[in-house]
């Protein structure tokens, strides 16, 4: 139970930019605050259709609905007039999404004024520690604090439910449960004996080249890809539409298209596979709680700023895992150009993917051990939701 007794109402504003990453994070956080801290949460979301993909019971045409104890509001525009009584005690804007001006005005009229927090994106860069919990200059008498998720005790930590580790261990220790879950996705008994890979990436990932390498792998690979992911490359391999249930085996590779999964089932997919390809922030964090080797496809930014973020994470996570670092850099087209290199060289054109995969496979044992150690290290920093509420409580107690 949270110590934040005097601030039971929380509003979380989310604008969906990265299809499922933004709403994925906010939805997990909202549910956790309700389930574990008895907080009254209202989640404002501008894109309910993307939200519905990870939460199928959600109605995409509803202005107001209750879902898993969370009040979900459709954030349609920046217009609207609000009263002080409508303002929550804690107001969170995810990743600088800009609150409606009318809501900000109502915040100034509330007594006491709410704790206003900008929940930033996840980064392993060192400067994050210095910016975590800093406030901006006052705006209409309001202070806004910047709260950074991260990988050290000087940040807000990572999003993690209280019972997640136990649930994952129980699932992974039950071979029948894992087999039943995979079978529900169409995976056959022979495919379960292969290297099982989940694939979630952005469209620009060099998927076609990797599928070609997997066909020539020394060990059989079964690739489970959600509908709509890497669609062009998957359909080229299948020579058919990439619809759920579509499957084809060629050489050492079997590609199987699975339905786009709700969050609990997606967690189980990460737990059941041997290697996970993830993207953005939400699935990236979930892969870190899965105890499996993973490859991160980072969200692209202008001037290749995402390469700096990728290298910062790899330096913390994989400094002694050469093949993981190499594969990750090539997967993100960061291997052939440094942060300040202007040359536009395609990593796909120069990468020997069969060699990259063979090296990765050879080091998988070390990666698995690292994944388990890393999970324990990250858990020691507490969880993002709990840390955020503790910070908000401290702000409310301060004069």
For the annotated catalytic residues, the residue numbers are 22, 281
Q: How far is CA 97 from CA 27, 45, 82, 93, in A?
A: 16, 11, 18, 6
Question: Rounded to a whole number, what is the distance in angstroms from the first to the last CA of the chain?
Answer: 25
Q: Tell which residue, 104, 102, 123, has the closest CA to residue 114.
A: 104
**CA dist., res. 399 & res. 390, Å (int):** 16
Which residue is it, tokens 């994944």?
371
Q: How far is CA 321 from CA 130, 267, 281, 327, in A?
A: 28, 25, 22, 10
Which contiguous run of DSSP H or E holds residue 386? helix 384-397
Helix and strand numbers (H, E) in the chain are 17, 13
Name, in order, each residue with C-beta under 8 angstroms of 388's C-beta and a sequence gap of 6 or more: 92, 117, 119, 147, 156
**CA dist., res. 53 & res. 228, Å (int):** 11
Residue 257 forms beta bridges with which residues? 225
Q: C-alpha angle 369/375/377, rounded to 5°? A: 105
């Amino acid at each position: 139970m949270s110590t934040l007794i005097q601030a039971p109402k929380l509003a979380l504003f989310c604008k969906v930019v990265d299809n499922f990453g933004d709403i994925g994070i906010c939805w997990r956080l909202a549910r956790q605050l309700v389930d574990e801290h008895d907080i009254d949460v209202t989640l404002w979301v501008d894109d309910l259709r993307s939200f519905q993909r990870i939460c199928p019971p959600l109605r995409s045409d509803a202005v107001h609905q209750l879902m898993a104890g969370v009040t979900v509001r459709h954030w349609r525009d920046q217009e609207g007039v609000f009263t002080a009584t409508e303002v929550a005690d804690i107001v969170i804007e995810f990743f600088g999404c800009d609150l409606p001006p009318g809501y900000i005005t109502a915040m100034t009229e509330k007594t006491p004024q709410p704790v206003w927090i900008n929940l930033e994106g996840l980064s392993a860069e060192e400067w994050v520690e210095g910016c975590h919990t800093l406030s901006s200059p006052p705006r209409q008498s309001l202070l806004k604090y910047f709260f950074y998720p991260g990988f050290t005790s000087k940040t807000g930590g990572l999003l993690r439910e209280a019972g997640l580790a136990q649930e994952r261990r129980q699932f992974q220790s039950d071979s029948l449960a894992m087999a039943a879950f995979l079978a529900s996705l169409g995976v056959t008994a022979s495919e379960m004996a292969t290297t099982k890979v989940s694939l979630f990436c952005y469209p620009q990932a060099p998927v076609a080249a990797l599928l070609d390498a997997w066909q020539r792998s020394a060990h059989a690979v079964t690739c489970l890809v959600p509908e709509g992911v890497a669609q062009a490359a998957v359909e080229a391999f299948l020579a058919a539409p990439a619809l759920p249930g579509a499957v084809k085996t060629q050489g050492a590779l079997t590609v199987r298209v699975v339905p786009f999964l709700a969050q609990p089932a997606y967690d189980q997919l990460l737990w059941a596979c041997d290697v996970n390809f993830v993207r953005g922030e939400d699935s990236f964090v979930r892969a870190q709680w899965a105890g499996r080797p993973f490859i991160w496809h980072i969200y692209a930014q202008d001037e290749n700023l995402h390469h700096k973020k990728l290298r910062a994470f790899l330096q913390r996570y994989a400094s002694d895992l050469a093949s993981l670092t190499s594969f990750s850099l090539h997967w993100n087209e960061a291997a052939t150009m440094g942060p300040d290199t202007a040359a536009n060289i395609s990593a796909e054109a120069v990468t020997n993917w069969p060699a990259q995969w063979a090296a990765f496979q050879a080091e998988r044992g070390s990666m698995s051990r690292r994944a388990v150690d890393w999970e324990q290290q990250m858990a020691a920093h507490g969880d993002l939701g709990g840390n955020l509420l503790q910070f908000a409580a401290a702000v409310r107690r301060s004069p």
